[in-house]
Amino acid sequence: MADIHIDDFYHDCTRILVQLYEAFPRLTSVYIDDIIGRFETDEYGIPSRRHQACFDTLLWLAAEGYIRYLDRVRLEGLDQVVLSEKAFLRLNQLIPFEPDSSTPASIVRKRSSLAWALKQALKSGSSETICLAAQRFFL
């Protein structure tokens, strides 16, 4: 049986990290609905398992030192969130990129970063590409 929850974890991490990278260094709010879309609560108001897993991914990223936050917004997200130095440096690490000779140096630098690879993985929509990019981040 496939470990779908691990794929979901990688997808969530990738979306969260890219969202925070694009806002860096500003403090911002991260809401679950912005990461995975809207999931309905049950008749008792308890969030879906998918919603809870995404929220727990945010908390895990904080516990492991990839993000910092000031407060929780109920079970809907986190407030005043920013990448940690650890995550920022990792997202800016260089990865192989083969530009043509006419590509400007600033574009080469941008497209040689792990942050660019994560963005491109999300843009591709390929689950396998997203998972591989997220795994590369955590190496």
> 93 by DSSP, 3-state: which?
coil
Cβ burial 72-87 (10 Å sphere, 16+ → b, else e): eeeebbbeebbbbeeb
The answer to whether the CB of 88 falls within 8 A of the CB of 24 is: yes
Query: For residue range 53-110, what is the model confidence (pLDDT) as tens digits?
Result: 999 999 999 999 999 999 999 889 999 999 999 999 999 998 876 766 677 777 777 7
DSSP state of 47: P
* Identity at 31, one-letter amino acid code: Y
* Identity at 116, one-letter amino acid code: W
- Both tokens of 133, joined, read 């990019």
Query: Which parts of 64-113 fold into alpha helices (H)?
Result: 85-91, 105-111
Q: What is the structure's pLDDT at 99?
A: 63
Q: Is the pTM of this model over 0.85?
A: yes
